[in-house]
Amino acid sequence: AFEVVAARSGVTVGVPAGVTIAAALREAGVAVNLSCESGVCGTCLVDVLEGVPDHRDSFLTPEERSAGDQILICCSRARSATLVLDI
Ligand code: FES
Protein backbone atom coordinates (compact mmCIF):
# COMPACT_ATOMS: atom_id res chain seq x y z
CA ALA A 1 0.00 0.00 0.00
CA PHE A 2 1.04 3.58 -0.55
CA GLU A 3 -0.42 7.03 -0.20
CA VAL A 4 -1.41 9.44 -2.96
CA VAL A 5 -1.74 13.15 -2.37
CA ALA A 6 -3.95 14.85 -4.97
CA ALA A 7 -2.35 18.26 -4.59
CA ARG A 8 -4.83 20.34 -6.56
CA SER A 9 -7.86 18.62 -5.05
CA GLY A 10 -6.48 18.77 -1.51
CA VAL A 11 -7.22 15.08 -0.99
CA THR A 12 -4.99 12.29 0.34
CA VAL A 13 -5.91 8.65 -0.22
CA GLY A 14 -4.42 5.30 0.71
CA VAL A 15 -4.04 2.90 -2.22
CA PRO A 16 -4.14 -0.73 -1.07
CA ALA A 17 -3.05 -3.71 -3.17
CA GLY A 18 -5.62 -4.53 -5.83
CA VAL A 19 -6.97 -0.97 -6.06
CA THR A 20 -5.78 1.45 -8.75
CA ILE A 21 -4.73 5.03 -8.01
CA ALA A 22 -7.57 6.17 -10.29
CA ALA A 23 -10.15 4.13 -8.39
CA ALA A 24 -8.91 5.35 -5.00
CA LEU A 25 -9.03 8.98 -6.14
CA ARG A 26 -12.46 8.60 -7.73
CA GLU A 27 -13.76 7.03 -4.53
CA ALA A 28 -12.54 10.12 -2.67
CA GLY A 29 -14.43 12.40 -5.05
CA VAL A 30 -11.55 13.46 -7.31
CA ALA A 31 -12.55 13.80 -10.97
CA VAL A 32 -10.43 11.36 -12.95
CA ASN A 33 -10.29 10.95 -16.74
CA LEU A 34 -10.27 7.31 -17.79
CA SER A 35 -10.70 5.47 -21.05
CA CYS A 36 -8.91 2.19 -21.73
CA GLU A 37 -8.04 1.52 -18.07
CA SER A 38 -5.25 -0.75 -19.25
CA GLY A 39 -2.31 1.57 -19.75
CA VAL A 40 -2.40 2.01 -23.52
CA CYS A 41 -4.35 5.19 -24.39
CA GLY A 42 -2.77 7.93 -22.25
CA THR A 43 -6.10 9.48 -21.17
CA CYS A 44 -5.34 9.16 -17.46
CA LEU A 45 -1.91 10.82 -17.62
CA VAL A 46 -1.14 13.00 -14.59
CA ASP A 47 1.99 14.94 -13.62
CA VAL A 48 4.00 13.66 -10.67
CA LEU A 49 5.11 16.41 -8.29
CA GLU A 50 6.89 14.23 -5.72
CA GLY A 51 7.64 10.56 -5.24
CA VAL A 52 8.68 7.72 -7.51
CA PRO A 53 6.21 6.05 -9.91
CA ASP A 54 6.19 2.32 -10.53
CA HIS A 55 5.24 2.37 -14.21
CA ARG A 56 2.94 -0.47 -15.29
CA ASP A 57 1.65 1.06 -18.54
CA SER A 58 2.67 0.55 -22.15
CA PHE A 59 2.14 4.19 -23.20
CA LEU A 60 5.12 6.20 -21.91
CA THR A 61 8.42 6.13 -23.78
CA PRO A 62 11.50 4.79 -21.97
CA GLU A 63 12.70 8.40 -21.59
CA GLU A 64 9.40 9.53 -20.05
CA ARG A 65 9.43 6.48 -17.82
CA SER A 66 12.85 7.24 -16.39
CA ALA A 67 12.09 10.97 -16.03
CA GLY A 68 9.43 9.91 -13.51
CA ASP A 69 7.43 13.12 -13.75
CA GLN A 70 4.29 11.64 -15.32
CA ILE A 71 2.14 8.66 -14.42
CA LEU A 72 -0.81 6.76 -15.88
CA ILE A 73 -3.06 6.39 -12.88
CA CYS A 74 -5.27 3.62 -14.31
CA CYS A 75 -2.54 1.06 -13.82
CA SER A 76 0.78 2.39 -12.53
CA ARG A 77 1.67 2.39 -8.84
CA ALA A 78 4.33 3.85 -6.50
CA ARG A 79 7.83 2.79 -5.48
CA SER A 80 7.87 5.47 -2.78
CA ALA A 81 5.60 5.51 0.27
CA THR A 82 3.90 8.64 -1.06
CA LEU A 83 3.16 10.05 -4.50
CA VAL A 84 2.13 13.67 -4.88
CA LEU A 85 0.15 14.20 -8.09
CA ASP A 86 -0.96 17.32 -9.93
CA ILE A 87 -4.64 16.50 -9.91
FE1 FES B 1 -5.89 4.54 -20.88
FE2 FES B 1 -5.01 4.96 -18.40
S3 FES B 1 -7.03 5.10 -19.14
S4 FES B 1 -3.84 4.62 -20.18
Over its length of 87 residues, how does the chain's per-residue pLDDT go in tens digits? Answer: 999 999 999 999 999 999 999 999 999 999 999 999 999 999 999 999 999 999 999 999 999 999 999 999 999 999 999 999 999
| Per-residue pLDDT, 73 | 98
pTM above 0.90, yes or no: yes
**ipTM score above 0.85:** yes
Q: Which atom of ligand 1 is nearest to the CA of 73?
A: 2
Pocket of ligand 1 (CB under 6 A): 34-37, 39-44, 57, 59, 72, 74
Calculate how far, in angstroms, residue 71's C-alpha sits from the geometric centre of ligand 1: 10
What are the angstrom distances between the C-alpha of 3 and each of 27, 28, 58, 87? 14, 13, 23, 14
- Give pLDDT, residue 58: 97
